[in-house]
Amino acid sequence: MLVWHTMSRMSSSAPSSDDDVFDEFLSDHGHETEIVRWERSYNKLQCPECGALHEEGSARCSVCDWRPN
């Protein structure tokens, strides 16, 4: 069985690099491609999901269990 995927929207708004093309392909097929990191609030890390504050070096949110990717 041969499966063929075509890239849509290949125009002047086409992605500018191979990484952008790959991210667009993943996004078009239901995958999240955005890198989400801690936000900053003064000298603390702030969870982008629930807003809880954490010390530097935290690996996950102790309130909602969010983890940066």
Residues in the chain: 69
Where are the chain's structural domains? 36-68
The type of residue at 59 is A
**pLDDT digits over 7-64, tens only?**
555 444 555 677 778 668 777 877 666 678 889 888 999 999 999 999 999 999 999 9
- What is the DSSP secondary-structure string of 46-67? E-TTT--EE-TT--S-TTT---
To which residue do tokens 């990484």 refer? 19
Q: How confident is the model at residue 66 (pLDDT cuts 50, 70, 90)?
A: very high
Q: d(Cα 64, Cα 69) in Å, to the nearest integer? A: 15
Higher pLDDT, 50 or 3: 50
Would you state the structure tokens that stand for residue 51, as one six-digit string? 């807003």
The type of residue at 2 is L
**pLDDT for residue 55:** 94
**pLDDT for residue 11:** 47
* pTM exceeds 0.85 for this model: no
